[in-house]
Amino acid sequence: MEFPKDIKYTKEHEWARTEGNIITVGITDYAQDSLGDVVYLELPAEGTTVTKDETFGVIESVKAVSDLYSPITGTVIEVNDALVDNPEVINDDPYGDAWILKVEMNAPAELAELLTADEYKKYVEEEK
Amino acid sequence: MPYIPHTEKDIKEMLNAIGIASVEGLFNSIPDSLKIKKTLNLPPALSEQELIHELTELSRKNAAVGEYVSFLGAGAYHHYIPSLVNHLISRSEFYTAYTPYQPEISQGTLQAIFEYQTLICQLTGMEVGNASMYDGASATAEAVLMARRINNKSKVILSSALHPEYREVVNTYLFSDGNNIREILYCTETGRTLPEAIEKLVDKDTACVVIQQPNFLGSIEDIKTVSEIVHKNNSILIVAIAEPISLGLLKSPGELGADIVVGEGQAFGNGLNFGGPYLGFFATLDKYLRQMPGRIVGETVDKNNKRGYVLTIATREQHIRREKATSNICTNEGLCALAAAIYLTAIGKHGLMEIAKLNLSKAQYLKKGLANIKGIKIAFTAPTFNEFVIETEKEPDVVIKALLKKGIITGPSLKKFYTELAKHMLVCVTEMNTKKDMDILMEGLSRI
C-alpha cells in the first residue's frame, strides 16, 4: 500500500495535491484496493462548485457504489474525461493517471485540516 | 431444508447470550399503554374439514370470469393462457424458491429473467429492461422518480387519460414533494391527450411527461407529436402501457421517441387473480441504465468461457446503497415475470400479432354494433384497440347492475374517475369473448 508524502489525505480516502492555487483530487491506493475493480464514475461538470467534506460524485466498483467527497472548497476547472472512459485506471495508478478533478480553491486555510501521509497511514491501519 | 422451530433450550440459550430473562423482555421498548393485555376474542380453531367448508363458502361470494361473460378491462385483461404456462411455472424449482439469485445455483431462474428482460425490450423498443416491478402503477411512479434523477428537474406532467389509479400512485410517491404534479386534459371529442395542452404546460423545468398507450379511455395516442414537444424542452417522455397485447399491433413506444416505457404485464400469461399479484415492466435507454430502479440480470461468461447469468448493477440497490439507493424496490415479481416470458415464447411473434388483431377486430365488431343501438353512443372518435368508452342514456350504474343479473360483467362506470363522464362506461373485448357473447351484450343493452 502506497502513501506518497507529497500529497494530503482525507478520512474519506481522497487525496489532494497542491500546485499554487490548484488542487488535484483523487482517491487513495487504500480506497481503490478496498473498492475492487472500478467500473463507473459519475463526476461533476467543469465550473461546478464543490464544498469540503461534501459529495461531488459517485464511484462504482463491482462490489459497491460509494460517494466521492471533496477535500477542499472551490470551483472545478478540469475533469479527467479519459478516466470516465477507462475507470479501471483507478486500480492501476490511483495517484497518477487516475487523478479525478482539478479544483481552484477558495479557502486555502482548509488545507491545514487535511491529513499528512503519516497521519493517514495511521488512520487506515486503525480502521483495518 | 427441514423446518425445526426453536426448542425451549435454544430460546433460553439465546436469551442468556443477550442477557434478557424472557422473550417478553424483547418488547420492553413498546410503551405499556400500547400493549394488549387481554386474550384476543377469536373463534375456536376449526378442523381441516370445517375450514375447507368455510373457505369454500367465502369463495362463493366472488364472481369469476369463467362463470360470467366479462367485458371488463380498465387495467386488468382477461386473455387466454396456454396450459403450459401454469404447468411450467408450477415446477418447484421456480415456484417455491425464495430470492433465487445466487448464480452458483440459480442459472435457470436467472436465464428466464434475462429472457423476460429481452422480450420486454423487443416489445417496447427500448435498450435495457429490469427484472420487473410490483405492477404497472408502481412502475409508472418509479419512472417519474427516475426521470427526476436524470435531469434534476421537478415538474411532472401526467395525462388525465393515464389510468386514474396509476395517477393516484404517482401522487402518493410524490406526496411529500409539494405541488409539482400537473395534469393535462384529454380532448372531449377524440379522447386523446391534447398536444396543444402539453405544449402549453411543458417548459424547461419539466422533468417528464407521462402518457398512456392506448390510454385509459381506449384511445390511441399520437406519441410522436407528444415526443417532439417533450424533447424540445429536454424533458423525459414516459409511456405507460396497461394492455401490452396492443404491442402486437402498435408501433413500439421506443420507435416513437419514448425514453422510458413502463406498464402492466398481467396480460402476458398471468390470470386476473382478483387484482394481484401483477407484473410491472420497466425498460429504458442504455444511457439511463444507472438511474433505473430494481434489479437487472446480465449475461456474462464464467472462467471457462461458458455463458452464464448474474445480477448486475445491484450495487445501486437498497441493501448496498441504503438511503442513497436509486429506489426502495429490492425485489421483483419473479414468478409473474416468468409466466410472461413463457407466455410470449409460447405464442411467439406472429402469435402475439394474431392475438392483437383478434382483439382489435372483435372490439370493432362490438363497437359498430353498439353504435347502432338506440340510446348508446361511442364517446370518442380516435382509433381504439380492444377497449372503448360508450355513453348510455340510462345511468351506467343501472345498466351495469341490470347486465350483471343476466350474467354479463361490464364497465366500469367512469363517473368515479371523471365527473364529466357521468353517463359513460368502458367496454373491453378480448379474444376470450365470442361473437355470441357480444351479441348477448348487445341484446341486453338494447332491452335496458
Confidence of residue B220 (pLDDT cuts 50, 70, 90): very high
Tell me the pLDDT tens digit for each residue of B52-79. 999 999 999 988 888 899 999 999 999 9
Q: What percent of chain A has pLDDT above 70?
A: 100
Provide the β-strand partners of residue B298.
B310
Q: What is the mean pLDDT of chain B?
A: 93
Domain boundaries, chain B: 69-81+349-447, 83-343
Mean pLDDT of B385-402: 95
Q: Are B312 and B298 in contact (CB under 8 A)?
A: yes
| Predicted local confidence at residue B176, as pLDDT | 87
The pLDDT score that the predictor gives to residue B447 is: 84
Alpha helices by DSSP H, listed for B164-265, are: 164-173, 195-201, 223-232
Cell of A65: 457504489
Question: Looking at residue B2, what is its pLDDT?
Answer: 63
Across the interface, of B290, B320, B324, the residue whose CB is closest to A40 is B290
- For A76, the domain range is 8-108
Would you call A61 and B316 a contact, using CB atoms and an 8 Å cutoff? no
Q: How far apart are CA B67 and CA B62, in angstroms?
A: 10
Write the CA distances from B204 to A26, B52, B141, B153, integer angstroms.
34, 60, 21, 8
**Interchain CB distance below 8 Å, A63 and B315:** yes
Phi, psi of B42 (to 5 degrees): -115, 145
pLDDT of residue B358: 98
Report CB contact under 8 Å: A62, B324. no
Higher pLDDT pick, A43 / B2: A43
Q: What is the predicted pLDDT for the residue at B99?
A: 67
> Which pLDDT value is given to residue B105?
86
Q: Is A122 part of any domain?
A: no
Q: Name A75's bridge partners.
A: A49, A104
pLDDT at B66: 83
CATH 3.40.50.720 fits B83-343, yes or no: no
Contact B145, B236 (CB under 8 A): no
- Mean pLDDT, to the nearest integer, of B247-269? 98
Q: Which of B88, B126, B171, B132 is closest to B266 using CA atoms?
A: B132
pLDDT of residue B430: 97
Rounded CA gap, A79 and A99, in Å? 9
Q: How many domains does chain A have?
A: 1
* For chain A, the helix, strand and coil percentages under 3-state DSSP, each to the nearest 5: 25, 35, 40
CB contact under 8 A, B315 and A67: no
The torsion defined by the Cα of A74, A77, A79 and A81, in degrees rounded to 10, comes to 170
To probe the interface with A, which of B315, B316, B318, B321 has the most A CB atoms within 10 Å? B315
Q: Strands A74-79, B128-129: parallel, antiparallel or unpaired by DSSP?
A: unpaired
Q: What is the CATH number of the domain that holds A80?
A: 2.40.50.100
Between A and B, how many CB-CB pairs are < 8 A? 16
Res. B395 pLDDT band, cuts 50 70 90: very high
In terms of CATH architecture, what is B69-81+349-447? Alpha-Beta Complex (3.90)
- Residue A126 resides in a domain: no
Predicted pLDDT of residue B332: 87
**Residues of B (319-348) whose Cβ lies below 8 Å from A:** 320-321, 324
| Whether residue B1 has pLDDT greater than 60 | no
pLDDT confidence of B124, banded at 50, 70, 90?
very high
Please report residues of A whose CB lies closer than 8 A to that of B316. 60, 65
Contacts with B324 from chain A: Cβ below 8 Å: 65, 67
How much is the pLDDT for B104?
86
Residue B12: pLDDT band with limits 50, 70, 90: very high
Which residues of A are less than 8 Å from B321 in CB distance? 65
Q: Residue B343 has what pLDDT?
A: 98
Q: Is residue A128 part of a domain?
A: no
CB B243 within 8 A of CB B385: yes
Cell 503519516 found at: A118
* Mean pLDDT over the full length of chain A: 94
Query: Is the CB of residue B158 less than 8 Å from the CB of residue B131?
Result: no
* Confidence (pTM): 0.87
User: What's the pLDDT tens digit per position in B133-146?
Assistant: 999 999 999 999 99
Q: Please determine, for the modelled complex, whether the ipTM score is greater than 0.90.
A: no
Q: Check whether A74 has a pLDDT greater than 80.
A: yes
Average pLDDT over residues B81-97: 92
- Give the mean pLDDT of B245-269: 98
